[in-house]
Amino acid sequence: MLTPKEISNIFEVQINTLYNWQKTKPKLYRYLQNADYNIQQNDEINLLLQEYSSIIKLNFTFEEILYIIDSPMQLLSMEDVKEFQKVFITVEYKNIPKNQIILSIYDKILDLNIIEKYILYKKIYKYRQFCDLDINEYFKEFIA
């Protein structure tokens, strides 16, 4: 558990403000007190996901991954991740007559479990932000 001084240093919040939040916003104050635990827990989850991703062997093509990256689709919640294929097809349904790759992508996303869907979308999201990454290397566990 973090002390008020540690919270102040990490989050750049004045100590007086923290004492005020202790009374007026107790949930926020407790969350900040436990921030070190939350960060540690996130790090552990990310490590597990990274280990899991190393055993994924899926058969997307380079073109399919590129198409998903270029798609305007966004997953904004865990519910969206669960329904990845529905979100994708909803965004892309108008393009089906022009591009048959969409149905192939839909089928492959449908076959993914929720962890694989999450990892795939997180990689897509990160790639969209930092597109200087090598697609073949970055998506190696998904490209056949």
Using the CB atoms, write b or e for 18-48: b if 16+ within 10 Å. beebeeeeeeebeebbeeeeeeeeeeeeeee
Q: Which residues contact 17 (CB under 8 A, 6 or more apart)?
A: none
Q: What is the pLDDT of residue 74?
A: 93
According to DSSP, the residues that pair with 31 across neighbouring strands are none
Kindly give the confidence (pLDDT) of every residue in the chain, 144 residues in length, as a single tens digit, with 9 standing for 90 and above.
888 898 888 889 998 999 999 999 999 998 888 877 767 777 888 888 888 777 777 889 999 999 999 999 999 999 999 999 999 999 999 999 999 999 999 999 999 999 999 999 999 999 999 878 888 898 988 898
Q: What is the pLDDT of residue 35?
A: 78
Strands (E), 90-135: none
> What would the two tokens of residue 135 be?
């697609």
Give me the phi and psi of 6, to 5 degrees please: -65, -40
Q: What is the pLDDT of residue 44?
A: 86
Q: Give the separation between CA 137 and CA 123, rounded to whole angstroms.
A: 11
Q: What is the pLDDT of residue 39?
A: 74
Q: What is the pLDDT of residue 72?
A: 95
According to DSSP, the residues that pair with 80 across neighbouring strands are none
Confirm if 40 and 61 have CB atoms less than 8 A apart: no
Q: Give the separation between CA 37 and CA 43, rounded to whole angstroms.
A: 10
Confirm if 130 and 110 have CB atoms less than 8 A apart: no
Radius of gyration of the chain from its Cα atoms, rounded to whole angstroms: 20
